[in-house]
Structure 1
Amino acid sequence: MNILLAEDDERLGKLMTHLLKKEFHHVDWVKNGKEALSYSSLSVYDVIILDWMIPGEDGLTVCKKLRSKGIKSGILMVTAKDAKKDIILGLDSGADDYIVKPFEIDEMLARIRAISRRKEKSFEESIAINDFTLNLHTHELTHKGVAIDLTKKEYQFLEILFRNCNQIVTREVLFERIWGFDTDVSDNALDALVKLVRKKIDHPGSPSLVQNVRGIGYKVRSSDVS
């Protein structure tokens, strides 16, 4: 399962991320409302776990914005608020379920499974561009049916570009999405990643699928667009 965790508590966030990954889920962990909205616009998540009191735009506001954008991911609201009116408010904002701190990890996992089962899988399973197909659930890239092995960061890079086909994705967005806000990586890290991706997917004599927009970022362009 692909999960987005929005939790600003460092200790709890690390613990939840570790335990979810132990259950073989892919987890992106963010620490404020702005990051949650940014990540959810660039990836498809089966479940989004939202802490009500995250900084910036709180979980309630983020939840409403996600639903207004048509995002159909399951949403689990996490909070210390346990009054009936708060629970109703959270559910009315678009959340699918609600869990009150402190909670047992087994209960959280059960609620995530329940949300995943009952949500309609109406979002994309894969994205096809030219002769490439990127499976959003198995994280597999194929070219004319032949699988291309990708590392986690290579997949993340291509997923962002595939989702924004024919649009420029800035270097800033790519750094934030792949390495995170607080990671100290050199500016050359992105260029090195692009070089590795091109080595795997490009063919001699053919233009690269990944196009460099000098000084701005990268994009992929579908041959179906004139």
Structure 2
Amino acid sequence: MKLLIVEDEPKTAGFLKKGLEENGFSADIATDGAIAGSLIRQGSYDLIILDAMLPGVDGWTLLKDMRLRRDQTPALFLTARDAVADRVHGLELGADDYLVKPFAFSELLARIRTILRRGPQRQAATLQVADLVIDVQRHRALRAGRLLDLTPKEFLLLALLARRAGDVITRTLIAEQVWDINFDSGANVVDVHMHRLRAKVDDPFPARLIHTVRGIGYVLEDRSGA
């Protein structure tokens, strides 16, 4: 499979290219937004690894332009921009995942393989599970047609669960994705925020969609027909 690395720091770009090629991928490098835009239009890539801050055209604009052209090539942001608002913005633009620098290459590789297994059909701007509809671009979530009043972190947490609906997401992974922290899975920060999210997503409605998998984490799925 062929990947495009959009990264203006030469050592990081070289490290990524070497690591990916050692794991069976072919990889091109673009060091600025203009070069990346040209390669994306000319080439046929299976996935794009994208820095947010680039010379000239930034990563946000590159991805926005891709999605406006209906180019659904999978994209993963790999950037030092670690604010929750940045993560939400990246997902709203149509990114498939968001990993903050510094990072472990093994985790990056695992996320790349997960995205490639899912394929482009999972990259819709609207996510739906039962009567829960999430409009990623507009940062809106509705349940049974009712608008949910979510904080940015709650929306990011719900979007993470929805993008992997049916998959059990560990507390550790949730903490890394939403808060960019590593902690023992017994810590309750995720559970506290999940309780607040459930109060908005599940409690006012007959069927629960967010389920606890004891000792592991959470899963978003419709079990009403089970």
Normalised to the residue count of structure 1, the TM-score between the two structures is 0.52
1:168 and 2:119 matched: no
CA shift for structure 1 position 219:
0.4
Residue aligned with 1:54, SS: helix
Change in 2 beyond 3 A, CA 1:55/1:179: farther
Q: 1:114 to 1:61 in 2, by over 3 A?
A: farther
Write out per-residue CA displacement over residues 89-119 of structure 1, whole angstroms, 9 at most, x where no aligned residue.
xx8683999xxxxx75x54479626545445
2: CA distance between counterparts of 1:158 and 1:92? 34
Displaced runs of 4 or more, over 6 A: none
Contiguous gaps of at least 5 residues in structure 1: 1-47, 69-74, 98-102
Question: Which residue number in structure 1 is paired with residue 128 of structure 2?
Answer: 128
In 1, the alpha carbon distance for the partners of 2:210 and 2:7 equals 34
Point out where structure 2 has 5 or more consecutive residues left out of the alignment. 49-53, 73-119
Q: CA RMSD in A?
A: 4.6
Q: Hey, what does 2:16 align to over in structure 1?
A: 58
Equivalent residue for 2:178? 178
Q: Work out the CA distance in 1 between the residues paired with 2:205 and 2:128.
A: 22
Cα offset for 1:159?
Answer: 1.1
Contact 1:76 1:96 in 2 (8 A): no
1:62-91 deviations in Å (ceiling 9; x for gaps):
69x9x99xxxxxx98337xx9xxxx98xx8
Q: Which of residues 31, 56, 76 is equivalent to 1:78?
A: 31
Task: Kindly state the Cα deviation for residue 190 of structure 1 after the two structures are TM-superposed.
Answer: 0.6
Structure 1 position 212 matched with structure 2 position 170: no
The sequence identity of aligned pairs, in percent, is 22
Residue of structure 2 equivalent to 1:146: 146
Give the letter aligned to residue 213 of structure 2: V
The alignment of Structure 1 onto Structure 2 pairs a total of residues equal to: 159
User: TM-score, normalization: structure 2?
Assistant: 0.52
Paired with 2:220 and 2:202, the residues of 1 have a C-alpha distance of: 12
The higher radius of gyration belongs to 1
